Each structure stands twice: as C-alpha cells, then as structure tokens.
Amino acid sequence: MDLNILWFILITVLFVGFFFLEGFDFGVGILLPFLGKNDQERRVVINTIGPHWDGNEVWLITAGGAMFAAFPNWYATLFSGFFLALFLVLFSLIIRGVAFEFRSSDPSPLWRNTWDWVIFTGSLLSAILWGVAVTNLLKGVPINAEMQYVGTFFDLLSPYTIIGGLTTLLVFMFHGALFLSLKTTGDMAERSLKIAQRIALVAIPVVLLLAGLTYYQTDLFASLGAGITLIGSGVTLILAAVFLKTRKNGWAFVTNGVTILLFTVSVFWGLFPRVMISSLNANWSLTIYNASSSPYTLKIMTIVAMIMVPIVLIYQGWTYWVFRNRVTEKNLHY
C-alpha cells in the first residue's frame, strides 16, 4: 500500500479517536458549573472523566507527532499559519489540566468555584476552536507557492467557520451530557438526560446548516463518499436524539459517537489527497505527496507504529474497563 495514503488514514484515525474521546471530556467540562449544584456534585462530574482526560489528550499529541514526522510541510504550514488559533487551543488545554489538578488542593468554596469556571472556559474554547480549524481546512486558506500561509488570524474567521465552531461545541456538549447520563446515578443522571435533550434540539439544525453551507462553501461534495458521509453524520445525530427520547441513552451515546466519526472522516475524505487547500491557487495546495517525508522515513515510522499503536490501544481500553462503573458521592474520598 502507498505509505503516504496509509499515514493520511492513520492521522485521520487519530483525530477520530481524539474528537470522540476528548469530545465528551469537553462536553463534561462545559456542563460542570451548570449540572453540579454543589461541591459534591461537581466532584462527581469531574470524577467521571478524572481517570481519562489526560490519556484522551494523548491522541492529539500522537496526531501532531505523526503529522510532523510523516508530513513535515503540512505540519510547518499548519502550525505557522494557524499559530494564534492553535496557541489558544493549547492554552485552553493547559488551563483545563491545571484546573483539574489544583481544584482539590484547597477546600475554600471560592477557590474551587474559580477552578470550575476555568475548566468550563478551557473546555468551551477548545470545543469551538477545533470546529473553526476543521472548517478552515475544508474552505481553504491563503497559501502561496512556497507552502507558506500568507493570511492573518482574522482570515480564519468567517460565517462558515463560526458555524463550524458552534457545531463542534454543540455536538461535544451533547456527547458530554450523554456520557454523564451513563456514568452518574439518580438525580444527576436525570438532569444530564434532560439537558442532552435540549442540546439535541439546537444541535440538529446547526449540523444540517453546516452541511448545507459546506455544499456551497467547499468542494467536499465533489467526492461522493465524503458527501454521503457528511450527510450520514446528520442522520446519526437525529437517530441519537430519537434513542434519547426513548431513554436508550447508551445507544444515543454510541450513535452520537458515530456522528463524530462520520463528520471527521468526511472532512479528511473531502480533503484527500490534499491536506491543506490553498484559496489563492489550487495548484499551491499541499498534498500527501508534496508535503510528505521521504519513503524511507515513512517505512521506519510504519514499523514503529505497527508495534506501538496496538499496545497503546490495549492499555487505554484497559483503563476504561477498570473505571467502567458509575460514579456516586460514595466514591468521593474526603
């Protein structure tokens, strides 16, 4: 198999894993100040993702490392052109991590409430910015013949990309609410289901709007498979809402996860074989060939990945199995 294609697929898989796993992390963080009525309830909410949030972020680190090694020109153009946007993403992830660690170091209500809102802010920024970044990849950005981004931060903002940010925000919030309904009990689980239903009512029309704008703003639908996959993400989101209505919240969570998977796959499928689209000249777009490392480098990376990736997947799967039970106030350690 063409190793350039293989590594493009692997990076797609890494982003699917990141958005699926970190998606409910972000959603839980955003809902934290609103679902938790007191400190004990907020601790329950945090503990649902406590064993997992840092492991989930490893998917992003691995995706970035894979981009750097397999497609260095893509990495260089993306991280230089999207510097401020990606800096904000990293800043939001950092303050979330700090907040998770610092929150319990002082019993003061003011201290803990402050860090709760830091978790909310970091999760909110991340959820929005990823949608803005992804839709910019589809829409195209100003890249010159030297593979250099020649725009500004504000070139990344448009009605289309803002709708993209709102889409990921709502889908991740829905994902987080469903996750909490599965990981908590009693009144907390019921409140999670109710807020999930409200989010779904807003998320569905926004996702359908994004699909319509994508048809007019990008060439994603030039690929039949990408177009069908994007439409499929809207269908599965509606199915998730239907499952939720019948209180099959486990199926709703899985189906919404499929929504995230299909949406992410549609983006990369629509890009292929490009990795970044130039809005100045289509011939200046970065592809999996003009942005890649040497064949020998890709070969060595493939051997290493075949050994390490299964180990990482088994380990992370084991952690989810160990912490599979619901979290209650009885599980809190004082």
Cβ atoms 14, 59 nearer than 8 A: yes
- What is the pLDDT, as a whole number, of residue 263? 95
Quick one: pLDDT at residue 39?
Answer: 84
- The pLDDT score that the predictor gives to residue 284 is 92
Residue 332 has pLDDT above 80, yes or no: no
Backbone angle region of 186, left / alpha / beta, with phi > 0 → left and psi within -120 to 50 → alpha = left
Sketch the domain layout of the chain as residue ranges.
3-187+270-322
Across residues 233-261, what is the average pLDDT? 93
What are 146-181's pLDDT values in tens digits? 889 888 888 888 999 999 999 999 999 999 999 999
Q: In the prediction, which pLDDT does 333 show?
A: 59
Q: What gap in Å lies between CA 108 and CA 227, rounded to an integer? A: 52
d(CA 137, CA 202): 25
**Residue 330: pLDDT over 80:** no
pLDDT-based confidence at 131, cuts 50/70/90?
A: very high
Please state, in angstroms and rounded to a whole number, the distance separating the CA atoms of residues 126 and 99: 15
The identity of residue 311, as a single letter, is I
For residue range 135-146, list pLDDT tens digits in order: 999 999 999 998
Q: What is the mean pLDDT of the chain?
A: 90
The three-class DSSP label of residue 184 is: coil
Each residue of 176-185: b (16+ CB within 10 Å) or e?
bbbbbbbbbe
Q: Which band of pLDDT confidence, cut at 50, 70 and 90, is reported for residue 256?
A: very high
Dump pLDDT digits (tens) for 58-108.
888 888 889 999 999 999 998 888 888 888 988 998 999 899 888 888 888
Q: Is 323 helix (H, G, I), strand (E, B) or coil?
A: coil
pLDDT at 275: 93
Min mean pLDDT across 73-87, 186-200, 213-227, 318-332 is at: 318-332
Structure tokens at 99: 């907040």
Q: What is the pTM of this model?
A: 0.92
Kindly write down the DSSP assignment for every residue of 62-113, as one continuous string: HHHHHHHHH-HHHHHHHHHHTHHHHHHHHHHHHHHHHHHHHGGG---HHHHH
